[in-house]
A and B are shown apart, each in its own frame.
Chain A
Amino acid sequence: MEIRRLSLQHFRNIRSCIVVPGRGINILFGDNGQGKTNLLEAIYFLSHLGTFRPTAQKDLVRQGMQWGRVEGTIEDQGVPKDILLTIGEKEKGVRVNGKPVSRGVDYYGTFDVTLFSPETLNLVRGAPEGRRRFLDRAIYSLDRRYLYDLKEYRKILQQRNVLLRLIREGRVPRRELTVWNEQLVRTGSRILQRRYRFLKEYVEYCTGIFRQLVHKEGELRILYHATLVRKGEAMTGGLSEIQEKFMAGIAAVVDREIQGGTTRIGPHLDDLSFEVAHGPAKSFASQGESRMLALALTLSEARFHSEKKGAPPVLLLDDVASELDPVHRQRLSRFLCRMGQVFLTTTDKDLDEKMEVSSTRFLVERGEITLVKNGEKL
Chain B
Amino acid sequence: MEASSLNRLIEELKRLPGIGTKTAQRLAFFLMKVPKERALGLARAIEEVKEKVRFCRRCGNLSENDLCGICSDSRRDAALICVVQEAMDVLAIDRMGEYRGVFHVLHGALSPIDNIGPDELNLRPLMERLEETEVREVILATNPTIEGEATAMYLARLIHAKRGIKVSRIAHGIPMGGHLEYADEVTLSKALEGRREIQ
Is B9 at the interface (CB under 8 A from chain A)? no
B179 shortest CB reach to chain A, Å: 9
Residues of B in contact (CB 8 Å), total 23
> Cβ of B153: which chain A residues have Cβ within 8 Å of it?
179, 182-183
Is A66 at the interface (CB under 8 A from chain B)? no
> Cβ of B147: which chain A residues have Cβ within 8 Å of it?
159
Interface majority SS on B: helix, strand, loop or mixed? helix
Closest residue to A180 on the B side, CB-wise?
B150
Is B111 at the interface (CB under 8 A from chain A)? yes
Q: Is the CB of B146 within 8 A of A183?
A: yes
Partner of A178, one of B112, B157, B177: B157
Closest residue to B155 on the A side, CB-wise?
A179
Given contacts A144-B185, A178-B157, are A158 and B113 in contact (CB under 8 A)? Answer: yes
Closest residue to A156 on the B side, CB-wise?
B146
Given contacts A155-B146, A180-B150, A182-B153, are A144 and B183 in contact (CB under 8 A)? Answer: yes
Partner of B182, one of A144, A158, A183: A144
Give 1 or 0 for each of A142-178: 1 = CB within 8 Å of chain B CB. Answer: 0011001001100110111011001000001000101
Q: Is the CB of B177 within 8 A of A151?
A: yes
Partner of B146, one of A105, A159, A162, A172: A159
What is the CA–CA distance of A156 and B146 in the complex, to the nearest angstrom? Answer: 7
Q: What are the 8 A-B residue pairs with the smallest beta carbon separation, nearest first?
A: A163-B112, A162-B112, A179-B153, A179-B150, A105-B181, A179-B154, A162-B113, A159-B112
What is the CA–CA distance of A151 and B175 in the complex, to the nearest angstrom? Answer: 13
Q: Is the CB of B146 within 8 A of A145?
A: no
> Cβ of B4: which chain A residues have Cβ within 8 Å of it?
none
> Cβ of B183: which chain A residues have Cβ within 8 Å of it?
105-106, 144
Give 1 or 0 for each of B95-120: 1 = CB within 8 Å of chain A CB. Answer: 00000000000000011110001100
Q: Is the CB of B146 within 8 A of A148?
A: no
> Cβ of A105: which chain B residues have Cβ within 8 Å of it?
181-183
Is A278 at the interface (CB under 8 A from chain B)? no
List 16 A-B pairs, Cβ < 8 Å: A105-B182, A106-B181, A148-B182, A148-B186, A152-B176, A158-B113, A159-B111, A159-B150, A176-B110, A176-B112, A176-B118, A179-B151, A179-B154, A180-B150, A183-B150, A183-B153
Give residues of chain B (70-116) contacting chain A, Cβ–Cβ below 8 Å.
Answer: 110-113
> Cβ of A172: which chain B residues have Cβ within 8 Å of it?
112, 117
A165 shortest CB reach to chain B, Å: 9
What is the CA–CA distance of A145 and B187 in the complex, to the nearest angstrom? Answer: 9
What is the CA–CA distance of A180 and B185 in the complex, to the nearest angstrom? Answer: 26
Closest residue to B177 on the A side, CB-wise?
A152
What is the CA–CA distance of A189 and B176 in the complex, to the nearest angstrom? Answer: 17
Known: A148-B176, A159-B147, A179-B154. 11 other contacts (CB 8 A): A103-B181, A144-B183, A144-B185, A159-B111, A162-B113, A163-B112, A172-B117, A176-B117, A178-B154, A179-B151, A183-B150
A148 shortest CB reach to chain B, Å: 5
B112 shortest CB reach to chain A, Å: 4
> Cβ of B5: which chain A residues have Cβ within 8 Å of it?
none
Q: Is the CB of B112 within 8 A of A183?
A: no
Closest residue to B111 on the A side, CB-wise?
A159
Is B199 at the interface (CB under 8 A from chain A)? no
Give 1 or 0 for each of A200-218: 1 = CB within 8 Å of chain B CB. Answer: 0000000000000000000
What is the CA–CA distance of A152 and B113 in the complex, to the nearest angstrom? Answer: 15
